[in-house]
């Protein structure tokens, strides 16, 4: 489970079920984390590539290795800053399947939003230039919705090695305790990873 902007007290994540192993790092407010409930999954935090806003975990199941990234793009800073983080991850993880779960705060028709903004265009250009693939599927629901409007700013991006890993991508309407919807998708059934959920939650104000 990849989470962004989860409830915190200071720098500590709260409200996490005890049955989950929590992967988060950094001394400041953690806006990206990964939770793993399946005890059969061997996961290693890659600290070199992780901070409060990006969490990189290597998952090993039998003889297969997958890199899972939970990453939050702060709308108040240039998107180039976060794209450089993605580039660094790609540089250090060549040759293995990579799945990015991104709260991009960027809009683009490439991931089925109704419009594209400048942030979205930059992210779209980056994805194309790095030969990455967007797994978002068209839906009547939006990934982000408030009383003021709705948009698709959350996306799942994979590299060529992982293009067949993500299946049954869908936005779910169940309560998420957030203005972001729950996105669920299966990961590589052949590896018996089961169902993976990407859940955004709002930080406690």
Q: 39-64: per-residue pLDDT in tens?
A: 888 899 999 999 999 999 999 866 77
Question: Taking residues 122-134, what's their average pLDDT?
Answer: 98
Q: 201 pLDDT exceeds 80?
A: no
Closest CA to 198 of 109, 105, 100: 100
Structural domain count of the chain = 1
Q: 196 pLDDT exceeds 80?
A: no
Question: Taking residues 115-128, what's their average pLDDT?
Answer: 98
Q: Is 124 exposed, middle or buried (0-12, 13-18, 19+ CB in 10 A)?
A: middle
Percent of the chain predicted with pLDDT > 70: 85
Contact at 8 Å (CB) between 174 and 163? no
pLDDT at 124: 98
pLDDT at 188: 65
Closest CA to 112 of 81, 146, 150, 69: 150
CATH number at residue 166: 3.60.10.10
Q: 193 pLDDT exceeds 50?
A: no
Q: 103 pLDDT exceeds 80?
A: yes
pLDDT band at 175 (very low <50, low <70, confident <90, very high): low
Residue 205 lies in a domain: no
Percent of the chain predicted with pLDDT > 90: 53
Residue 17 lies in a domain: yes
Question: Taking residues 71-96, what's their average pLDDT?
Answer: 96
Residue 55 lies in a domain: yes
Which residues make Cβ contacts (< 8 Å) with residue 91, sequence separation at least 6? none
CA distance 74 to 108: 17
- Host domain of residue 183: 2-200
């Amino acid at each position: 489970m990849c989470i962004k902007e989860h409830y915190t007290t200071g720098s500590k994540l709260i409200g996490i079920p005890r049955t989950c192993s929590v992967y988060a790092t950094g001394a400041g407010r953690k806006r990206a984390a990964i939770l793993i409930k399946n005890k059969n999954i061997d996961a290693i935090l890659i600290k070199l590539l992780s901070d409060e806003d990006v969490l990189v975990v290597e998952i090993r199941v039998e003889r297969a290795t997958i890199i899972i990234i939970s990453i939050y793009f702060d709308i108040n800073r240039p998107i180039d800053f976060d794209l450089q983080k993605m580039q660094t991850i790609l540089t250090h993880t060549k040759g293995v399947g990579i799945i990015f779960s991104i709260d991009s705060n960027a809009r683009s028709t490439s991931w089925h939003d109704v419009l594209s903004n400048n942030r979205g265009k930059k992210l779209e250009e980056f994805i194309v230039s790095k030969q990455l693939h967007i797994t978002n599927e068209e839906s009547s629901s939006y990934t982000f919705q408030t009383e003021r409007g709705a948009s698709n700013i959350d996306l799942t991006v994979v590299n060529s090695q992982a293009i067949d890993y993500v299946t049954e991508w869908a936005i779910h309407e169940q309560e998420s305790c957030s203005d972001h919807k729950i996105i669920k998708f299966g990961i590589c059934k052949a590896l018996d990873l089961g169902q993976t959920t990407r859940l955004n939650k709002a930080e406690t104000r």
